[in-house]
Amino acid sequence: MRKLSLLFAGALMGASAMSLVYGAPGSSANAAGSETYKQLAIFGDIFERVRAQYVTPPDDKSLVENAINGMLSSLDPHSSYMNAEQAQDMRVQTKGEFGGLGIEVTMENDLVKVITPIDDTPAAKAGVLAGDYIAKIDGQEVRGLTLNDAVDKMRGLVNTPIKLTILRQGADKPIELTVVRDIIKVKAVKFRVENDIGYMKITSFTEKTYDDLENAIDAIKKQVPDDKLKGYVLDLRLNPGGLLDQAVSVSDAFLKRGEIVSTRGRDPKDVTRFDAKPKQTDDINGKPMIVLVNGGSASASEIVAGALQDLRRVTVVGTQSFGKGSVQTIIPLGENGALRLTTALYYTPSGKSIQGKGITPDIKVDQPLPPELQGRDLTRGESDLKGHIKGADESSTGSGSAAYVPPDPKDDLQLIYAEQLLRGQKTDPAFPPNPEKAVLNQ
């Protein structure tokens, strides 16, 4: 059984490129026609009849929220209404920090299992260890709770205590620990040095992604002399997306000039272009770089892969990406709720729409599934979503591919292939790319 794992920031926002240029609360829309008001009157009549005659008394708030979400979900899979709690969760996720304990967890045997405590966080300092099982939270049994419920209980205000009852292998009785919540900053970029190659994995596009990326690049440069550094691998696999401005900033880090992405709204004149800042060299001094994508690479991560691919700055290796080419604008509403509305589609520098198509890698490298997952369909793609907006370049082939990355790098064929290319152990016409052959929209 595949386990669900998430940080205490909660599950990420899903496959999305979000624009946080907020609209004004209560901003007016075009006046509706008389026929529209007749339909609204029918809705009001049905609402009152449900309240008065349904077999059990319904909750008015839930009825309204579900009606709103029914309307929005009929538009596309990414437009939705967020109540106050959901809107706050979204703000926490995009900010990249929250009040919590600092542990990565999963659900196993109806208990919360600690995958790892994050270094220098309250949980690590209190003595929580990888492999611990959390049986009670402030005296309440974890059995019967969902993982999200348990995570919600462990998050909270900074400087407030929480008592955990822990079951640990080798301990003859449960361990009681009191942990004081603190600000937990989630690293959006993980990195390491593979001998002569710098490896960077962007897990999501939050407010901290670009800064984390720059820190990763600086750390790699300090660990490996420039004359010995063969290049970089930028891993965007299983990256669900995030903030549009962060995708632009990340792309800009590896470019000297050129268009990164354009967004086009309902009005043909509503076109916004984002360009790289002209400079003499990029942030990795022009070193070769390979970008990894798979069916879990969506939206903001596709913006980065598409821009660097079209401008021939990188070679993209892996399998077809998710194919979400739409931008959601977050519009605040009363009572601190928010409307998440698809307001534009984005296009790569060559003018290609990713919607329902995805990024096609320059070099396709499949990643075999382990025996325990064989026979399962792990393919993920926008084109498979019911009610998705049909993209301009979408075909019957659709988008997406398997969204699986082995936990152990020695089993990661896509990563191994990328490193062999950088070291010259493998050759391919697509590597290194030729910037003179950049594909631009005319």
74-77-82 Cα angle (round to 5)? 90
Question: Which amino acid would we find at residue 148?
Answer: N
Residue 299 annotated in active site:
yes
402-406-408 Cα angle (round to 5)? 170
The span from the CA of 403 to the CA of 378, in Å, is: 6
**Of these residues, 310, 326, 383, 401, which one is catalytic?**
310
**Of these residues, 16, 299, 321, 326, which one is catalytic?**
299
Torsion angle defined by CA atoms of residues 436, 356, 201 and 318, in that order, rounded to the nearest 10 degrees:
-70
Instruction: Kindly state the tokens that stand for 32.
Output: 């509706």
- Partnered with residue 364 across adjacent β-strands are 318
Backbone angles phi and psi of 113, in degrees to 5: -105, 130
Q: How distant, in Å, are the alpha carbons of 79, 179, 381 from that of 386?
A: 13, 44, 11
CB 307 within 8 A of CB 293: no
Instruction: Kindly state the tokens that stand for 323.
Output: 């194919």
Which candidate, 292, 296, 295, places its Cα nearest to that of 304? 292
Residue 432, preceding peptide bond in cis (omega within 30° of 0)? yes
CA 241 from centre of chain:
4
Specify the DSSP element, H or E, that contains 339. Answer: strand 338-347
Assign residue 289 a region: left if phi > 0, alpha if psi is -120 to 50, beta otherwise? beta
| Helical ranges in 139-208 per DSSP H | 147-154
Residue with tokens 């990029």: 282
CB 344 within 8 A of CB 389: no
**Of these residues, 136, 208, 287, 324, which one is catalytic?**
324
Instruction: Kindly state the tokens that stand for 218.
Output: 């600086």
The span from the CA of 428 to the CA of 362, in Å, is: 10
Positions annotated as catalytic residues are 299, 310, 324
